[in-house]
Amino acid sequence: MTDSHRLTPAPLVRRTKIVATLGPASSTPDMIRTLAVAGADVFRLNFSHGSHEDHGARYAAIRDVEAELGRPLAVLADLQGPKLRVGTFVDGRVTLGKGDRFRLDLNDTPGDVHRVKLPHPEILSAAEPGSHLLLDDGKLRLRVLSRGEGSLETVVEVGGVLSDRKGVNVPDVILPIPALTEKDRRDFEFALSLGVEYIALSFVQRPEDVEEAREIANGAAWIMTKLEKPQAMERLEDIIRLSDALMVARGDLGVELPPEEVPVAQKRAVREARRQGKPVIVATQMLESMITSPTPTRAEVSDVSNAVFDGADAVMLSAESAAGQYPREAVEIMARVTARIERDPEWRTRLHALRPERDGSTGGAIAEAAWHVAQAVHASAVVTYTQTGQGALRIARERPDCPVLALTPDDDTARRLAVVWGVRAQSVGQEMPIFGVEGVVDQAVELAQYEGFARKGEKIVLMAGLPFGQRGSTNTLRVVDLP
């Protein structure tokens, strides 16, 4: 990726990026290439399913497609996290009625209509009278009446059929359960050995959960916190501050929050992530009907549009691309919807209205100035030379009208920026610091023209840091006329 002439000219026609999950329907090299050509910028490896061998083969195929297309593709390893489940029943299932008493305990005996094993003593010790337990993705709801030694006595508030090993959610209690299981730790190390750009962390309740993941990654990958627990919403600012990126995982979040609260949480999370300059993905059920249908519902299109209007960096496909019958069509629809919304004047008006306040940093001030200058001179692109990606994140935070071209000496940085709003990143090798700012200008002009972002007689705005080689030193702004 270090040779600019390997680039495939492809003007950026949309700012919002697309994340596609790989699975049985999309694991062949041909399909991965098809999804990338259709518009996927990031590929998600879901470690809740598949073996290390499966994920290794998919990762290798992604890198082959990346080399063929000549543009960076990011890989996101999504860890499973703790899975809390009830035990088994004598007959495989029971029917619980509203008002029934039901006990959860540590007894290994198969359950019946009166009780079942809950093999998670942390829940039994943390729940208090009045706490709620949601079973089977929230289809059943129990309220705790009392806590005994290794057991909870509950009353059924919402009944239904409960079968073997269905999931348990505890929305109103912080559970003393680590975000990383032993399986997650093995998957984490394997994902790092592959060289993925992002590790998605599930079951985050506290900032300390993110700190632990950061220590394990040790800079080898960026940590993407999945927002799926109500407890995380209470510490949202601190959690985002410790994260490199955020995913609003509305599936799990929607189980533990009342449905009317999920859109509010989504907007708050997107707004706060943007304020802190961290990439944010909106995920889950965006085009769910396309698992079995070649076209989405109008409500789903509106859902995707809403995320784009809010300024999310990326929108994500889960089962639609991993196991659905129409993975290519799902990516194409996502690309069409995002591109269409971004052509609407209301979209631009809302992005300007939602621009965050100054963050007080030198780099932030340069990025804000670049936004104003680009507006004033009608720049065709903002070009930033960045070693760590922070310069690109800062200008993306401002949501400029023109595309952002990020030049970096590092392949990993270029790939990490594939998820960032409006940024087309390219690795240009290690030679730029040697040639100084004029060399950066020449390289910026060449790539901006080659990529189709700017033509002769137009202007670009250049952001860089001097002296070169000093990380996080964005302090230079320059307007360049293309000869």
CA dist., res. 272 & res. 214, Å (int): 20
pLDDT score, position 430? 65
pLDDT score, position 4? 37
Q: Is 14:422 a contact under the CB 8 Å cutoff?
A: no
Give exposure, 165-196, as e/b (b: 16+ Cβ within 10 Å): ebbbbbbebebebbbbbeebeebbeebbebeb
CA dist., res. 33 & res. 40, Å (int): 9
Q: Is 420:244 a contact under the CB 8 Å cutoff?
A: no
pLDDT score, position 468? 60
Q: How many beta carbons lie within 10 A of that of residue 68, not counting itself?
A: 14
Q: Is 212:180 a contact under the CB 8 Å cutoff?
A: yes
CA dist., res. 104 & res. 85, Å (int): 11
CA dihedral sign, ordered 168, 174, 179, 183: negative
Quickly list DSSP for 36-80.
HHHT--EEEEETTSS-HHHHHHHHHHHHHHHHHHTS--EEEEE--
pLDDT score, position 432? 52
pLDDT score, position 3? 42
CA dist., res. 13 & res. 30, Å (int): 24
| Nearby residues of 372 by Cβ (< 8 Å), 6 or more positions away | none
pLDDT score, position 359? 85
> Which residues are tagged catalytic?
44, 85, 226, 284
Domains of the chain as residue ranges with CATH: 4-81+178-341 (3.20.20.60), 93-169 (2.40.33.10), 362-481 (3.40.1380.20)
Q: How many beta carbons lie within 10 A of that of residue 121, not counting itself?
A: 11
CA dist., res. 392 & res. 404, Å (int): 8
DSSP strand pairing (474-481 vs 459-465): antiparallel
CA dist., res. 161 & res. 2, Å (int): 57
pLDDT tens, residue order, the chain (483 aa): 444 333 343 445 689 999 999 999 999 999 999 999 999 999 999 999 999 999 999 999 999 999 999 999 999 999 999 999 999 999 999 999 999 999 999 999 999 999 999 999 999 999 999 999 999 999 999 999 999 999 999 999 999 999 999 999 999 899 999 999 999 999 999 999 999 999 999 999 999 999 999 999 999 999 999 999 999 999 999 999 999 999 999 998 999 999 999 999 999 999 999 999 999 999 999 999 999 999 999 999 999 999 999 999 999 999 999 999 999 999 999 999 999 999 999 999 998 888 888 888 888 899 999 999 999 999 999 999 888 999 999 999 999 999 999 999 899 999 999 999 999 998 887 655 545 677 778 888 888 888 888 888 999 999 887 666 566 567 788 999 988
pLDDT score, position 362? 85
Question: Mapped to the 3 state alphabet, what secondary structure does 105-157 carry?
Answer: ECCCCCECCCEEECCCHHHHHHCCCCCEEEECCCCEEEEEEEEECCEEEEEEE
